[in-house]
A and B are shown apart, each in its own frame.
Chain A
């Protein structure tokens, strides 16, 4: 409040009374929504915090992941449980199957790519249809680590993959999803870190011809979590659905930066991210970059971001960018909304005898419910709702 008075109430005479940062939203001149990609960390300057892709991120809390000072030495335990028919391997840096989905798009991702020692590869052979999910658990036991994981589906394979992150770590990693023609992959990535963890990761998907990729990103825990889900298409007819849920508490910084590159004709994409925030300095950043290249005729894309601010002191940055280089498209759109929850809904529930805390919980559950229901894995859905409840009870307490 003091801040506002300072800016607005002062005499109009004093020059600079309105000198709040005038920088408008910036993009490099005539560049696409996304810039350089490279495997080489040297191709990216050390971010200073003014750069478009870093200006929302608290660099000081990245523990050196961004400037090369973070030395690997921590312990990360990765366990993979897969049904029969799935090939699970751990390979060295030289394996030819690494790096095919796409190159790192920022300095931290490139750092991770240059620094990991062993990579995990999960392969679902062609035409294999799994009825049980593949489970990958990533547990941090302190310290800095770099990681790399590939999930590959052969043509017409169908699989579900659940990746869970828990414990304490400073982790930079890349995950690649390579989908063969007609393959179907649903992947759920849960970030349920301890409050001290730092996690930066790029999730790159290469979607084959007529393949369909569904990604659900769920971020609850961690000091700083910055995820960059990216989608490219390898042939026409591909479909990508990117769903996300996040719940930011006091002093948490949760950042999701999507990039959907429509580089093939007749592909579809649909992104929907929903987040709730509570507590001082709880910060959520959501960037949704969609590029429709000139050759991507017949594209159909939609993006949505919703934020529910539960208490004072939280911050939301929501930027759904859209660049379109052809008019020959089916449709393109986005929507973003930020608000507190509806007092009328609360009143309605309370008028029916439901206590305020309970009513509040119901409203927030309702906010997330439609996304959760689209995951398609009942046990994951139940756990997520429990998680939402426990986050809420923290705010009530």
Chain B
């Protein structure tokens, strides 16, 4: 029964190992300044030739960042040293208009990530690839442009669509929301800006690939998505960073506005290397009849604290979160979701699956709040955790706060280990233990994997197969 921990399931060894751990020569990052003060913020704003209101917003963010306390809950954040972080790194002077114009080392990076293939296969409608702090490559298909869809990096959007930008920026996540949102407001750079006009249905996913290259560099992208009435968009974000010795900080803010009867799906596969603190604020507001869906995969990073939220503002609005987390050695995935029911007859659903191995720790932390007046609201939460050895850890912190009578909400969680019966069954049918184990893990995450776009589902499956390769070698 009690097997030695590490040898018991060698097929899972690779979980948490980092495949994308190369580092390109880093000419731009080496010269960037470390630490944060008003000059750094003014400098960022000046280099970007930003309007005055944005500078004021940044300075306000900086002030609030100084005032807000570090969170005393969740993961251990004592390893973050705000003074050694580079807050702004400019890697190329201009945005490239086509793939060929990209500098060679950046192109190599993206080649390794498989971006052009995806592009060629037209699986993605546009690729916004964020290399360090600014988007260096950006393309959107002509037919989308004709429909009036705006898909730009956030810096360009501020220049080209200032009114639209100012109308929505910081409205979902105010500068003082939390310490890391304040920090992002002060030093944000890059990210995606999407506007989908009324009634436009974007058929294929819009995709951005983020990558951190510079050692100790903070990545503070800012994404703003507005889906106008009756429109639909699916945005896909993936994150990868190379391995460096010291710890990096990634602190993004994502704001999404889903208007009446519109629908937005936001898919993230986070595969940061195992020294990144990933502290992200993601929030959407869904108006009458609108649907917001978060699909959130957390595979990499040292520490992730991320709880995508949906504020259900209008009647019949709907929020959904599918969350999947893998924690290997030295990793803590503190992920979850937050649903705030503020209008009658709103509904929400959270499904969370997590796998911990090798002493890793997964936590589900969630909040369901039903405010006064949100009659007829429905909410359902399901959390499953799978532990594959004796030293890993799994926690569940589900909060429910109900203030109306006409409501129906449920929460259920199970934590289980891989069952000997299941292993035996599969092995008696000729599978090796490693194959059987991988099959069980794949089966466990399948309800979420099938919601992913094809290439991400494949990547997830490949990740599980990687562990088996390790076992054969």
Contact = CB atoms under 8 A, between A and B. Distances in A.
Interface of A: 1, 3-4, 7-9, 12-20, 22, 24-30, 33, 52, 294, 297, 307, 309-329, 331-340
Closest 9 CB pairs of A and B: A327-B387, A26-B73, A8-B313, A4-B373, A25-B399, A1-B373, A337-B410, A333-B414, A332-B415
A25 B405 contact: no
Contacts of A16: 174
Contacts of B414: 331-333
A338 B307 CA distance: 22
Contact of B172 (A18, A26, A329): A18
Contacts of A336: 398, 400, 410-412
Contacts of B311: 8, 18
Contact of A338 (B77, B338, B409): B409
B314 interface: yes
A334 B412 contact: yes
B417 A329 contact: yes
Contacts of B389: 327
A257 B151 CA distance: 49
30 contacts: A7-B313, A8-B343, A12-B257, A13-B171, A15-B171, A18-B285, A20-B340, A22-B178, A24-B73, A27-B365, A27-B397, A294-B390, A311-B405, A312-B404, A315-B401, A315-B402, A315-B403, A316-B402, A317-B401, A322-B394, A322-B415, A323-B395, A326-B391, A326-B393, A327-B356, A327-B389, A335-B410, A335-B411, A336-B412, A338-B402
Contacts of B387: 324, 326-327, 329
B121 interface: no
Contacts of B409: 337-339
Contacts of A25: 73, 365-367, 397, 399
Given A324-B387, A333-B412, A337-B409, A317 B417 contact: no
Contacts of A26: 71-74
Given A12-B171, A28-B73, A321 B406 contact: no
Contacts of B177: 19, 22
Contacts of A321: 395-398
Contacts of A340: 405-408
Given A297-B2, A327-B392, A329-B415, A4 B71 contact: no
Contacts of B168: 12
Contacts of A314: 403, 405
Given A7-B342, A334-B396, A12 B390 contact: no
Nearest to B170: A15
Given A17-B171, A18-B172, A319-B398, A324 B393 contact: yes
Interface string B69-81: 0011111111000
B351 interface: no
B239 interface: no
B417 A327 contact: yes
B342 A29 contact: no
B174 A24 contact: no
Contacts of B393: 323-326
A80 B472 CA distance: 69
Contact of B411 (A22, A317, A337): A337
Contacts of B412: 333-336
Given A30-B76, A294-B390, A320-B411, 6 more contacts: A15-B175, A312-B405, A335-B410, A335-B412, A337-B409, A338-B407
A338 B314 CA distance: 22
Given A4-B342, A319-B400, A328 B2 contact: yes
Contacts of B390: 294, 297, 326-328
A24 B367 contact: yes
B1 interface: yes
A18 B311 CA distance: 9
A369 B72 CA distance: 42
B372 A4 contact: yes
B405 A309 contact: yes
From B1, B307, B398, name the one whose CB has the most chain A CB atoms within 10 angstroms: B398
Contacts of B71: 26, 29
A338 B404 CA distance: 10
B257 A324 contact: no
B441 to A, nearest CB: 13
Contacts of A335: 410-413
A346 B400 CA distance: 26
A245 B76 CA distance: 37
Contacts of A294: 390-391
A267 to B, nearest CB: 16
Contacts of A320: 396, 398, 411, 413
B307 to A, nearest CB: 6
Contacts of B407: 309, 338-340
Contact of B72 (A14, A28, A329): A28
A17 B171 CA distance: 7
A390 B232 CA distance: 53
Contacts of A13: 167, 171
Nearest to A308: B405
Contacts of B72: 26, 28-29
A289 to B, nearest CB: 10
A52 B399 CA distance: 12
A1 B202 CA distance: 36
Nearest to A336: B411
Which of A18, A25, A320, A327 has its CB near the most chain B CB atoms (within 10 A)? A327
A268 to B, nearest CB: 15
Nearest to A30: B76
Nearest to B226: A12
Nearest to A23: B178
Contacts of B395: 33, 321-324
